[in-house]
Chain A
Amino acid sequence: EDQVTQSPEALRLQEGESSSLNCSYTVSGLRGLFWYRQDPGKGPEFLFTLYSAGEEKEKERLKATLTKKESFLHITAPKPEDSATYLCAVQARSGAGSYQLTFGKGTKLSVIP
């Protein structure tokens, strides 16, 4: 069974204080690992897809990396508007999992001015 574990559950940062969120996963053949941002009461917003170990993607203050067992979302010099819940999800390569994402429980990030 595919599993995704995100840590920490919650993270409070001062504005400008860089940090990383972790996503550990087990999946029977990784098709893709996805990062989403979700604001309260809204739908998840797609951020990144990573397909293979060693891959990195960047967008503004966010950088996602992938190894064979985990992914990190690095936040550089965060701003209050980066406050949100960040969700990690994995997709298996074949079978019934080809349409299904297994989500982690998310990390709630709060950036204090």
Chain B
Amino acid sequence: DTEVTQTPKHLVMGMTNKKSLKCEQHMGHRAMYWYKQKAKKPPELMFVYSYEKLSINESVPSRFSPECPNSSLLNLHLHALQPEDSALYLCASSQGPGQGYTGELFFGEGSRLTVL
């Protein structure tokens, strides 16, 4: 079983809805990530938080808004999405700088998002 938990597993939303994806980890990791994965494609990095501060934003549209309330939680707020945003959204965590960072990511099972 993965130690990174994502909810919900499935989400269907209209283009005018506001929804959130949630991620929780209890491995004591201080780096957390959001990835987007389309069918038959590799994961694409969206955001990285290091010690609860946003350190990387890969030019993601503002309709995606990340939030890191504490070292265990990571949210992705969704608003006014487009059908092409339908994908599997993956949360991951890793050790951060100063924790013996090895680069190994531990992924959750993902949230399958469908935008109608």
Contacts and interface: CB of A to CB of B under 8 A. Distances in A.
Interface residues of B, number: 27
| Interface bin, chain A | 20 to 34
Contacts of B45: 100-101
Contact of A49 (B42, B55, B104, B109): B104
B31 interface: yes
Interface string A15-54: 0000000000000000110101000011111100100000
Contact of A100 (B56, B90, B107): B56
Contact of A42 (B103, B104, B109): B109
Contact of A31 (B48, B103, B109): B103
Contacts, number: 59
A106 B90 contact: no
A29 to B, nearest CB: 13
A105 B109 contact: no
B104 A34 contact: yes
B96 to A, nearest CB: 9
Secondary structure of the A side of the interface? strand
A99 B56 contact: yes
Contacts of A34: 103-105
A87 interface: yes
Interface in A87-107: 87, 89, 91, 96, 99-101, 103-106
21 contacts: A31-B103, A32-B102, A34-B105, A41-B88, A41-B110, A43-B4, A43-B6, A43-B90, A43-B92, A43-B109, A44-B105, A44-B107, A45-B107, A46-B107, A49-B103, A87-B43, A89-B42, A99-B48, A100-B56, A101-B103, A105-B41
Given A44-B105, A106-B42, 9 more contacts: A41-B110, A41-B112, A43-B4, A43-B90, A43-B107, A46-B106, A87-B43, A91-B103, A105-B41
Interface of B: 2, 4, 6, 31, 33, 40-43, 45, 48, 50, 55-56, 88, 90, 92, 102-110, 112
